Amino acid sequence: MSNIFKIAILPGDGIGPEVMKQAIKVLNKIRHFLNIEIVVKKYLVGGSAIDKYGDALPTKTLLGCEKSNAILFGSVGGPKWDYLPLNKRPEKNSLLKLRKHFNLFINLRPAYIYNNLHMLSPLKNNIINKGFNILCIRELTGGIYFGKPNGRKGNGINEYSFDTEIYYRFEIERIAHMAFNFALQRNKMICCFDKANVLNTSIMWREILKKISYQYSKVKLKFMYIDNAVMQLMKNPSQFDVILCANLFGDIISDQCAMITGSIGNLPSASLNNKFFGLYEPAGGSAPDIAGKNIANPIAQILSLSMMIEYSLNNKHITKKIEKAIEKVLNKGYRTKDLYTNQLNEKIVTTEDMGTLITESIIL
């Protein structure tokens, strides 16, 4: 790696620019401790780019991302652009294009529950008190969302529609190796959710994962049928470490993982390719209902930056410091509105305040 690390900042729409501002505060505090020169450039994306350039992913933005080492993304979309046809909307026309363009085939969503935020989870106390710390890994560029043929044919009662679930060996092998390596850095367990009692693709996933697991003897590999897995995730999430899924199941399961934490505003995500070029973004959307009110939770955006530092800059040391600072601020009872549960020690703070509190709590 050269000694300059370029970050393309794409704040996007809704709460995107508000929470991104807080992540930039954190970045400005830590940048001189990263042993590499950080260069940051902002670009328009999503609805705000449609307003200015008539395109959700203008050439200038795409070129800027190509010249960068990583993308820090806010969120895109909102009612203002809902009148547009699907293929012109901000989400489809920017985020999905970026994922495809950079071949970001692995999506990582950590889901854990902070000790003092148990109240937010919809799960019962006896389940949540065991805690959980899950890394949900979703295959992002293959499977039924992209398989050909797909479409709609025929007429009358014989009209039919079809989608194709297709996985190539190389697609499964490359994500498997990455998943095993992530598991090695954690509790060394992978559970793959599938439907191998019905689907050919799931059977092939199982065969390939089992074969690759011999190269990672320290990691325990398990499989679970998806229908049982959704129940197990509710009943006892603490049994899981790394969850690995094909695209469709991963899309659903990653949201279930988010829901059991009860705090979408805390959850970051990373989408990577095999060179660890990544797009880092909050798990939630642009939250138009609270945009511009200075009440959005910036933690997901700050943790997205923290994931960038871990995966694209390979600096777990600084990542830990950011995570510790967030925990410290939460332990002191500071909450954005979405995290407030009416407990005695809790104090509601604004987006700006939360960003400043976290930044000031980072001890370098």
Q: Is 251 a catalytic residue?
A: yes
Residue with smallest beta-carbon separation from ligand NAD: 285
Distance CA 283, CA 254 (A): 9
Among 288, 323, 333, 350, interactor with ligand NAD by CB under 6 A: 288
Per-residue binder mask for ligand NAD (CB under 6 A), 57-76, x = binder:
------------------xx
Q: In sequence order, what DSSP letters do the residues of 7-49 get, joined into one string?
A: EEEEEESTTHHHHHHHHHHHHHHHGGGSSSEEEEEE---THHH
Q: Output the smallest distance, CB 35 to ligand NAD, in A.
A: 30
Single out the residue of 51, 111, 41 nearest to residue 76, CA to CA: 51
Neighbouring C-beta atoms of residue 337, cutoff 10 Å: 15
Distances (CA, A) of 138 to 97, 233, 301: 18, 16, 20
Among 58, 142, 268, 284, interactor with ligand NAD by CB under 6 A: 284
Distance CA 154, CA 157 (A): 8
Q: Look up tokens 């939360």; give the residue.
A: 354
C-alpha atoms less than 13 angstroms from C-alpha of 316 in its C-beta half-sphere: 3
Residues numbered 81 to 110 that lie near ligand NAD (CB under 6 A) are 91, 95
Site size with ligand NAD, rule: CB under 6 A: 22
Q: Is 195 a catalytic residue?
A: yes
Determine the interface stretch with ligand NAD among 112-120, 180-188, 294-302, 355-363 (rule: CB under 6 A).
294-302
- Alpha-helical runs (H) found in the chain: 16-30, 47-53, 59-66, 90, 96-101, 125-128, 169-184, 200-213, 226-235, 247-261, 299-311, 316-331, 351-361
Question: Which one of 13, 195, 241, 280 is the catalytic residue?
Answer: 195
C-alpha atoms less than 13 angstroms from C-alpha of 1 in its C-beta half-sphere: 17
Q: In sequence order, what DSSP letters do the residues of 287-300 get, joined into one string?
A: -GGGTTTT-S--HH
Cβ proximity of 139 and 175 under 8 Å: yes
Q: Is 289 a catalytic residue?
A: no
Residues numbered 16 to 35 that lie near ligand NAD (CB under 6 A) are 19
Among 226, 242, 296, 349, interactor with ligand NAD by CB under 6 A: 296
Q: Output the smallest distance, CB 267 to ligand NAD, in A.
A: 9
Q: Is 55 a catalytic residue?
A: no
CB of 48 or CB of 202, closer to ligand NAD: 48
Per-residue binder mask for ligand NAD (CB under 6 A), 133-172, x = binder:
----------------------------------------
CB of 116 or CB of 286, closer to ligand NAD: 286
CB of 224 or CB of 358, closer to ligand NAD: 358
Per-residue binder mask for ligand NAD (CB under 6 A), 240-279, x = binder:
------------------------xx--------------
Cβ proximity of 260 and 234 under 8 Å: yes
Question: Which one of 53, 55, 114, 251 is the catalytic residue?
Answer: 251
Q: Output the smallest distance, CB 345 to ligand NAD, in A.
A: 21
Q: Two tokens at 114? A: 């902070």
Distance CA 335, CA 73 (A): 23
Cβ proximity of 159 and 153 under 8 Å: yes
Among 30, 49, 176, 290, interactor with ligand NAD by CB under 6 A: 290
Q: Is residue 289 at the binding interface for ligand NAD, with CB under 6 A as the rule?
A: yes
Per-residue binder mask for ligand NAD (CB under 6 A), 299-328, x = binder:
-x----------------------------
Q: Is 227 a catalytic residue?
A: yes
Mapped onto helix, strand or coil, the DSSP state of residue 129 is: coil
Q: Two tokens at 314? A: 């390979």
178: amino acid identity, one letter: M
Q: Output the smallest distance, CB 188 to ligand NAD, in A.
A: 31
Helix (H) or strand (E) holding 105: none
* Residues with a known catalytic role: 145, 195, 227, 251, 255
Binding residues (CB under 6 A) for ligand NAD: these are: 15, 19, 75-78, 91, 95, 264-265, 281, 284-290, 296-297, 300, 338
